[in-house]
Chains A and B, each alone.
Chain A
Amino acid sequence: MNKPLILTIFRWLLWLLLITFESVVGFPWLSLVVVGQWLLVGSTYQVLGSIVLSSLILAATYSLAWPLAMLAVMILWQVNQQTRKHSSQRWLIYLSVVVVIGWLAGTPLNGLSLVFTFFSWLFYARWWGIWGRNLWQKLGKVSAKS
Chain B
Amino acid sequence: MALKWWQQALFLLALSVVLSVAGLANFLVADMERVVLPVKHWWTSGFSYLYSVTQNLQQLPKAAKRIQDLELRLAEASVSLAELETTKKENQALRALVADHNQLSERRIITAPVVAFAQPAIAAGELDGIQPGAIVLSNDTLLGQVREVRAHSATVALLFTQESQPILVTTSQGVQGLLIGDGKKIILTEVEKQAQLNLGDQLTTVGQPQIEQGIPVGRIIKITNDPVAATQEAIVEQYVSFFETPLVEVR
Contacts and interface: CB of A to CB of B under 8 A. Distances in A.
B20 A60 contact: no
A44 B191 CA distance: 132
Interface of B: 2, 5, 8-9, 12-13, 16-17, 19-20, 25, 28-30, 32-33, 35-37, 39-40, 42-44, 47
Contacts of A32: none
B8 A59 contact: no
A56 B13 contact: no
Of the listed residues B12, B16, B37, the one surrounded by the most CB atoms of chain A closer than 10 A to its CB is: B16
Contacts of B39: 16-17, 20
Contacts of A24: 40, 43-44, 47
Given A20-B39, A67-B13, A78 B32 contact: no
A92 B190 CA distance: 120
B40 A66 contact: no
A97 interface: no
Secondary structure dominating the interface of A? helix
Contact of B36 (A16, A55, A65, A77): A16
Contact of B29 (A44, A59, A78): A59
A90 B8 CA distance: 21
A23 interface: yes
A61 B41 CA distance: 11
Nearest to A53: B32
Interface residues of A, number: 26
Given A52-B12, A70-B16, 7 more contacts: A16-B36, A17-B39, A24-B40, A57-B32, A66-B16, A66-B28, A67-B20
Nearest to A44: B8
A20 B36 contact: yes
B43 A20 contact: yes
Contact of B47 (A25, A44, A71): A25
A82 B16 CA distance: 24
Interface string A58-96: 011100011100110010011001000000000000000
A12 B43 CA distance: 17
B40 A20 contact: yes
A44 B17 CA distance: 21
A83 to B, nearest CB: 14
B20 A65 contact: yes
A66 B23 CA distance: 11
A124 to B, nearest CB: 21
Contacts of B32: 56-57, 59-60
A48 B2 CA distance: 14
B28 A56 contact: yes
B13 A23 contact: no
A101 interface: no
Given A48-B12, A70-B12, A81-B5, A60 B25 contact: no
A116 B80 CA distance: 53
Contacts of B17: 67
A21 B41 CA distance: 10
Contact of A56 (B5, B8, B9, B29): B29
A74 B15 CA distance: 14
A44 B4 CA distance: 10
Nearest to A21: B43
